[in-house]
Structure 1
Amino acid sequence: MSGDRGFRGGRGGRGGRGQIIRPVLEGTRIAIDKQLAEFRANVDCDEIVFPADLSNHDRAIVHTECKKLGLKSKSHGKGEERRVHVTKPDKFIAVDADDSRTLNLSEKGARQLNEYFSKFPPSSNELEMASRGTLDVAWEDENTKSRAENNNNNATTTTARKPYTDAFLTTFGNNVDYKRLHEELEHKRTHVHELAQISMKRQTLPVFKYKDEIIERVNANQVVLLAGSTGCGKTTQVPQFLLDDCWANGKPAKIICTQPRRISAMTVSDRIASERGENIGEGTVGYQIRLESKISKACSLLLVTTGVLLRRLTSEGADAYLSSLTHIIIDELHERDRFADFLMIVLKDVLPKYPNLKLILMSATMREDLFSNYFDDCPVIKVPGFIHPVREYHLEDVLAFTNWGGNNAGLANPQPSKHRKVDASSSFSSQQQQQQQQQQEPSTSEASEMMRAAIENAFVAPSDETFDWLLQCAAQSKDEDLVNVQHSATGATALMAAAGRNRTMEVSQLLQLGANVNLKSQNGMLASDWAERFEHEDLASQLRELESTPGNNDVAMMEEDGAARDGSFDGPVVLDEAALMRLSKYQLESDPDEVDVDLVCSLVKHVHEKNRAKPDGAILVFLPGWDEISKIKDALSDQAGLTDVQIMPLHSMVSPQDQRKVFQKPPRGVRKVVLSTNIAETAVTIDDVVYVIDSGKLKEKGYDAYTAVSTLHQTWISKASATQRKGRAGRVRPGEVYRLFSKSRFEAFAEFQLPEMQRSPLEEICLQVKMMQETLRGMIHSNGAPSPTCASFLKRAVEAPLPQAVDSAVTLLIDIGAFTSAEEDERITRLGRHLADLPLHPRVGKMLLYASLLGVLDPILTIACAGAYRPPFIIGTDSGRQNANRAKKGFSDALGGGSDHLAIVQAFKEWEVACRNGRQAENQFLWNNSLSGSTLHMIKGMRMQLITALTQRGFIQNLQSASYNTNATSLVRSVLAVGMYPLVGRMLPQCRAPTLGTLKGERVRIHPGSVNARFEFSQDELENTSSSTTTLACFEEITRNESNMYVRDSTLISGTSLVLIANTVKVEADPPVVDPLTGESFPKPGVPSALLNVDDWISFRVPLTQIAQLCTLRLRLFKAFASRVERTKKPLAANLQQCLHTTSIVLADSDHNLLGARNQYIQRGGGGRGGGRGFYSGGRGGNNQNFVPPPPSSSQFNGSGDGRGGGRGRGRGRGRGRY
């Protein structure tokens, strides 16, 4: 399709990827984005058709944007009638629905099954239940049936969360003289020099002028909305106003203030404490975040993350807790965190029961009327910020400052809004006439003669060398228009030569040099005619698009003409003509989806050199992600003339110690340049920033409710965010903001960012809804229903999530057993209550419970925490990424290979060993293996939190008792499949890059950073016969970026694992063999077999003797799980306990077959494994993949492992220990 091809821009300098650059007007891009967004949001519209007047490049942009949004697009028609049709995605069709593979159980596995069922034969009732193929029948077991039936009646007393008993809740009392406390504080504020200085500074904050009004409004109303501009001081001062007012009137105060981020809760509480002359956590101010808290017995003001407050409200004693509070402050509401939006629904319902509880909503920029109306027209207080004047520069100005395109491209020193103005539409037509009349007179200079010779050579002897020489000749002089020199005899140009030979790269580069597409050779042919003459239709078509485009002589189309054509603007826009030409040329030659690294570096250098006399002003650069931060940091480090600049990244990947350096003053005479994501927008404040460079980009993780796929895109920010970023430049003195987007693009920005509740999966939220309905029974609005549905509850949000997202979340929760079916009023089950108590996605929580059942909790804890937080591997620059990938593969190979998740397990284990050898050994280990120490410490802390939660719920006695099978990687892989199901797929041999065909029918790529990115198929799989085995993998999520759907982390699993954990497994007859000549059918040769069809996706051929055994084994496995969930402290029945043992052996055998078949591809890590205790043995080396778990009669097992491997220190490794 011609629309899928185009010219490549430059040599990858800006985007760094050498991607296709489409010469499309910005106004057209904006109009396309707007129309696609409206179509996607319209549930009643299934198709839109774009008009036929779109160019090939315009259509290519439509196709590209559709990929980002998960829409389907296809061009239909020919010539002038070619149109792009866009539709919404259909339901996926499983790619393996009619496929069957062999499930190879070895003789050892078959023998174990026979032994187990000879001892515990299935009853007729079990066989009947197993034949249904579903797992929910396990709840019907007579040992758990009565518990399941009474689940809803006694759950709140037996499984509710334990009440919190921290100091903040228990120190509330009336025997304190609060007036005296207030007088002592005021005395310190006037007589202690440091506090006096702080008090004077506090009084200069804009919010201080509104102190009396704020207190008066809060005392008179239950809900107050405070909209304070950036820098007004609301976050640190309003909580103190309320606390001081209570004390001054002799009243106690218990104030909760929520923050969207951990770092905000810590830094704000520390700031408030210092302003009150206290140490954080030792006086009246404290904080509580996940895994960490600082609270004293005297605490009256507690800073928490929103999630901490929600967890308190879903715990036993929520009513008493709310009764003890005087104020709840929700800060940074404009960020629209999904938990904050959820919290507002809850508080709106419960506030009438607590008339003494005050709610204060605070934000920097938001739609005041939206939230005021939500809380029954509550009063609004608007506080302006104290911001020095900030001068705005947009992309059109930045291009001039940095002299983009050379001196002939524009002015040397533009001043915004002071240029000579011209009507863009009139200059547009005059340029078009000039272009049509242009014809070059032959030049007689030596350079021109050389150019003519290069043109002739390119026609006569085309090769890479001749066209390289042609480009060099065209670009060698800035004084002469060599690119448009015509051959003396034929009138041919360099562009004609490149077009005739279909050299699209050279065509693109010649156009950037100013090649004129309207010049004609002596036979009257244009460059497009030369392309057509040699049957290069795609290239000819694209050149014709440029012929009909005004201003193409400079490869610059008028942006405003595009705006007029697509209706984006009401009238003609006037701009400085030179600036307009430069802007249009830049936009046509750059990729709007990428941050221009070269431009950012040039701008940093320009700002620094222009203000060398004032080096104390820091430069803050807003970038979308770590990739851009790393690239620009490296590029700036290589820049000449920037030796007196200190470059500092601010990102969650940076260690806390390095993050703190960002807030420190640089040495005298050195300018600080901070490269940050949007974390510096509102969460933290860098006091010395004077200059802001705003890329206008945000890397946003979202969720497509229509396809249940996660998304990761670089998107444009909102106008509110742009205003926030601008405000960061005016806190110290008059500042400047340089926006790397045009004024037109800014006007097209959304007013506000989409609420997180509308772009996130809702499973955790839905679980909390049901828990909240129990802990706050009678207070949650239900519209008269005894048990309101999640959909009806969330529909009452300030801006409700999409119904598809809620339906998808509820369906998943029903599938995993956390909710009863919709016919049973969507009630939360006992399993659901257990899962709600774990601060993890419900699927991951179920995985932990299975891990404790099968004795592999230790490694699964590490995987779960890394998934909930982030993987520990640092991916920085290209070289750093390669080092991280090598280390990751080494860790994975040490545990059998083929698993990103097991790589994390091994990395964590070896890090713990390194930590025991001292700080220096730890740092060296982190450096060698591209690991983040702060991330690993966070994972360690999260593990402890989860161990405590599982212990309190009665699932485990301690970690060791639930980790006796830790080294059985086969069980770890199977438990991973349980937690990730139905996110499983089959490796597809027919695809070039490693690709999975999923259970739902998608085809998704393996991410390049995965250890499975270089997966190679065995010969058996490549032959792809019905007797072939197949390689399966499980994964956490599917992510869609700008061009592909992919999975980042995956783990290879066996077919047996899939059969045992799938939702449904149906027994089907094995179709007979049909003679192609006679049509006669007869049974397949060999052992009689049948098919086990997994979720109508893939079928496994299994001997008839093993069919009933496998079906009954999977039923009993889930019965064991159901029994443990229902009665956490009672031992399992003997047949179920032995089932776990048998399952472990069968899975270990299958895992050995899976990895053994791939031995020639998966190289095990070497190095003799030293002695040690089980899983914690030191060293990297061979691993016992045939580990047999302990029999049910023993809680410990003495075993030895034996493995061989190359790599670091060849040799045999032995490990011996107790499990």
Structure 2
Amino acid sequence: MGEELVAESFIAALHKPTALLPIAKHRDSIAYAVEHNQVLIVVGQTGSGKTTQIPQILNQAGWCSDGKVIAVTQVGYSIRFEDVTSATTKIKFLTDGLLLREALVDPLLSRYSVIMIDEAHERSLSSDILLGVIKKIKKRRKDLRIIVSSATLQAEDFLQFFAEEDNPTASTKDNAQSNADRAANGDSVGPGTIVSIEGRMYPVDIEYLASPAENYVERAVQTIFDIHTQEGPGDILVFLTGRDEIETCIEMIADRLPSIPKDQDSLYPLPLYAGLSTEQQMYVFEETPDNTRKVIISTNIAEASVTIPGIVFVVDCGYVKLRAYNPESGIEVLTASPISRAAATQRAGRAGRTKAGKCFRLYTEDAFTSLKEASIPEIQRSNLAPVILQLKCLGIDNIARFPYLTPPPSSLVVRGLEMLYSLGALDDYARLSKPLGVRMAELAVEPMMAKVLLSASGFGCLSEILTIAAMTTLQGAVWVQHEGERKAMENSRWKFAVDEGDHLTLLNVYQAFVTTGKKDSGWCRTNLLNFKSLSKAASVRNQLRRYLERFGINVEESLTRQQQSTKAGSVDKTEQIRRCLTTGYFANAARMQPDGSFKTVNGGTTLHAHPSSLMFNRKADWVIFHEIMETGNKTFIRDITKIEKAWLTEYAPTYYKLSR
């Protein structure tokens, strides 16, 4: 899941009367279970009210007395660079990643009386690590209550995980004896229990294809129009894998809208994915206009994270974008993979919230039965360098003995250690280096960008690198493209273009925004720039600057001087910025081939500049890149900057020695 979702819709759900939700009849049993057990596993479908109502039930039961706070890991409210809580806060909603960061300062998370980990079944990297950290805290804090909320039936796995004692190989029988000993000693608090809450209230019919679809986006569009002409009223939710597919689907729907007879309702297609502005995301929650049927085309963000009213029909493409890290090439890509049966069930369940619904699966029934029961946890297919860095900062030096819910492959751990060593974050004994490694762990960015930020003073470009770091957090949501405005957006991008690549172009955009666009929102509209995204970048930049100032690193700001030196094309300044970027992104280096594609340094992976990159169809010998993704049968790179080959061995001699 992304780190940003629709906060407004979530806050509205907090105020929904508990009596209207399936959780209402479990109110007393939940309060009792938390009082008498250190761990509670709550099983319930999305929409049952568990996320919004359980914290309020516990607040009313007195779990926020003595200044204590209930923490709920919920995407969307307190994100990586924002915190809107105060001294009077009783219930705090925050990402699991942010709660992990709090543990760096307060290792026992002592301000919290209850910690609720929501959507744990998704098995994200940060939630799995948080489960392990909380398991360690649990031994020291008998007063802490832990709630794990899951929409699938993995409850026994979670309960067993917390029941295991220090010895991770201990049997269930051993743990049962340990619990009996605890009871004999007069400890009235049990180790844990499970509460199940019914979710879906109406039946959902499932329809499969007779034969596999050649192109699921085209088939999705056809299915949307079939539903519109052949089925009853109700909005449609379509699951695709990413932004490009969603925008293609919306364009295809728009092309076919004139074919709908004038006396029939029209279709109102809306996108939903993490890169959209909050304002754009909110449209999906608004009431459907008269004489229209809303069609929401979404990533898996709508699978479990949000409940959208009015959905009666679901169209499931059967795929999801998953992170996949190759320890040999050192490259992590987002790749479209078949969903799990659990995810397919989740998606179908979206259709049965308000009335009987239908789910149209764009795959055969045989394909469904061949799906894995659950997705491979992120920890078994991700770059572990960020996780290892955080664990080391938490004082967990022996990574192998950490209590993982599912242990990662040793090859991923070794590669993560090698990367951190090459970045200078670890010393020869695999301990955090001081001050570099400690500071990298404390910065709220991934290790490569942390190294770049902490190297920038030495290159005389700290102010510029701060801006670039903030802009890359937007993940491409810099430009606003409305239907039929692709050419206008391209023209706007070229106004800010810098020959050396995307990072310096992002710098130009931001500098123009803070001098002109921040005071004049019309300037953003004219240049097809996303005002809210750029405002967010300014906020993130200020937060990163405060981190650096806490480290005693002075950030000299002179926007006019910055703009003159970079915009005028000062070779010295632009080269220093590119050199600085290379100190962190040396592992993401590639060389252009005669056909215009790129190959990684080891020659094993063919890459293509993404059409949104300024390096698309342009010449460059060597480049570094920030982001990589798979679309169809091609692997694309984005946020690309030209570099010199010699810089790679100059700034990362250890890495290229290890790679050989």
Does TM, scored on the shorter chain, surpass 0.5?
yes
Deviation at 1:805, TM superposition (A): 0.9
- Secondary structure of 1:649's counterpart equals strand
Q: How far apart are 1:935 and its partner, in Å?
A: 2.7
Over 3 Å counting, the alpha-carbon distance change for 1:242 and 1:962 in structure 2 is farther
Amino acid corresponding to residue 384 of structure 2 in structure 1? L
Select the residue among 379, 400, 407 that pairs with 1:791.
400
Partner of 1:105: none
Pairing of 1:500-519 with structure 2 (within 5 A): none
How many Å apart are 1:747 and its aligned residue? 0.8
Change (3 A) 1:914 1:961: closer
Match of residue 618, structure 1, among 230, 235, 243: 235
Which of residues 373, 386, 394 in structure 1 aligns to 2:208? 394
Q: Report the aligned-residue RMSD.
A: 3.0
- Give the conservation status (yes or no) of the 8 Å contact 1:624–1:678: yes
| Alignment-derived partner of residue 8 in structure 2 | none
CA distance 1:869–1:919, shift in 2 (3 Å): closer
CA contact (8 A) 2:73 2:94 kept: yes
* Distance in 1, Cα, partners of 2:222 & 2:644: 53
Matched, 1:294 2:84: yes
Q: Quick one: distance in 2 between partners of 1:295 and 1:754?
A: 34
Cα 1:1008/1:769, change in 2 over 3 Å:
closer
Higher relative contact order (CA 8 A, sep 6+): 1
Match 1:360 to one of 139, 142, 147 = 147
Q: Is the 8 A contact 1:653 1:932 kept in 2?
A: no
Aligned to 2:247: 630
* Partner in structure 2 of residue 902 of structure 1: 504
Q: Mind listing any 5+ residue stretches in structure 1 that lack a counterpart?
A: 1-194, 267-287, 397-582, 774-779, 781-787, 1018-1030, 1066-1093, 1099-1219
Matched position secondary structure for 1:1050: strand
Match of 2:18 among 177, 184, 202: 202
Structure 2 residue matching 1:666: 3-state secondary structure: coil
1:817 and 2:424 matched = yes
> What amino acid is aligned across from residue 643 of structure 2 in structure 1?
I
1:803 aligns with 2:423: no
Letter in 2 for 1:797: Y
Aligned partners of 1:817 and 1:829 also within 8 Å: no
Q: Please show how residues 806-1205 of structure 1 align to structure 2 within 5 Å.
A: 806-821=413-428, 824=429, 826-874=431-479, 884=489, 887-893=492-498, 897-916=499-518, 918-926=520-528, 931-960=529-558, 968-988=573-593, 991-996=594-599, 998-1002=600-604, 1004-1009=606-611, 1010-1016=613-619, 1031-1036=621-626, 1043-1054=633-644, 1057-1058=647-648, 1060-1063=650-653
Pick aligned residue for 1:229 from 45, 48, 57: 45
Number of residue pairs the alignment of both structures matches: 608
Give a deviation string over 1:703-756, Cα, whole Å, max 9, x none: 223432222322221111111111111111111111111111111111112212
Partner of 2:73: 258
In the superposition, the TM-score normalised over structure 2's length comes to: 0.85
Deviation at 1:898, TM superposition (A): 3.2
In the alignment, residue 297 of structure 1 is paired with which amino acid?
A
Distance 1:844 1:905 in 2: 15
> How far apart in 1 are the matches of 2:634 and 2:228?
39
Q: Give the one of 598, 604, 608 matched to 2:228.
A: 608
- Is the 8 Å Cα contact of residues 332 and 628 (structure 2) preserved in structure 1? yes
Paired position in structure 2 for 1:7: none
**How far apart are 1:1057 and its partner, in Å?**
4.0
Q: Residue 406 of structure 2: SS of its match in structure 1?
A: coil
Pair 1:220-2:220 in alignment: no
Structure 1 length-normalised TM: 0.47
After superposition, the C-alpha distances for 1:317-361 in whole angstroms (9 at most, x for unaligned) are 434xx3332111111111112111111111111212111111111
Q: 1:356 to 1:658 in 2, by over 3 A?
A: same
Matched, 1:348 2:135: yes
Separation in 2 of the partners of 1:994 and 1:220? 61
Q: Which residue of 2 aligns with 1:443?
A: none
- The 1:805/1:258 distance shift into structure 2, 3 A limit, reads same
The 1-side partners of 2:372 and 2:125 are apart by: 19
Conserved? CA contact 1:595–1:628, under 8 Å: no
What letter is aligned with 2:578? Answer: R
Which residue of 90, 102, 107 corresponds with 1:318? 107
Q: Give the 5 Å matches for 1:665-684.
A: 665-684=287-306
Task: Report if aligned partners of 1:627, 1:876 keep a CA contact under 8 Å in 2.
Answer: no
Deviation at 1:1060?
4.1
Matches of 1:382 and 1:963, distance apart in 2: 61
Asked if structure 2 preserves the Cα contact closer than 8 Å seen for 1:857 and 1:959, the reply is no
Q: Is the 8 A contact 2:70 2:92 kept in 1?
A: yes
Deviations 1:584-634 (A, max 9, x none): xxx3xx43xx4241x32332222223345x4xx211111112222222212
TM-superposed CA distance for 1:984, in Å, is 2.9
8 Å contact from structure 1 (residues 947, 958) kept in 2: no
Task: Note the 1:432-471 alignment, pairs <5 A.
Answer: none
For structure 2, list consecutive stretches of 5 or more residues without a partner in the other structure: 1-11, 164-190
Structure 2 CA distance for partners of 1:1044 and 1:241, relative to 1, 3 Å: same
Mapped to 1, the partners of 2:629 and 2:352 lie a distance apart of: 38
State the shift of 1:878 in Å.
10
Deviation at 1:818, TM superposition (A): 0.9
- Cα deviation for residue 939 of structure 1 reads 1.8
**Distance change (3 Å), C-alpha of 1:379 and 1:706:** farther
Residues 995/296 of structure 1: CA separation in 2 closer, same or farther (3 Å cut): closer
Post-superposition offset of 1:292 = 2.6
Change (3 A) 1:654 1:814: closer
- Percent identity reads 29
CA contact (8 A) 1:246 1:252 kept: no
In structure 2, the residue corresponding to 1:922 is in which secondary structure?
helix
Give 1:808 shift: 0.6
Residue 740 (str. 1) matches residue 362 (str. 2): yes
| CA distance 1:729–1:878, change in 2 (3 Å) | closer
Q: State which of 170, 176, 195 in structure 2 corresponds to 1:381.
A: 195
Aligned to 1:385, the other structure's residue is in SS state coil
Deviation at 1:985, TM superposition (A): 3.8
Q: Is the 8 A contact 2:452 2:584 kept in 1?
A: yes
- 1:489-524, Cα deviation, whole Å (9 max, x unpaired): xxxxxxxxxxxxxxxxxxxxxxxxxxxxxxxxxxxx
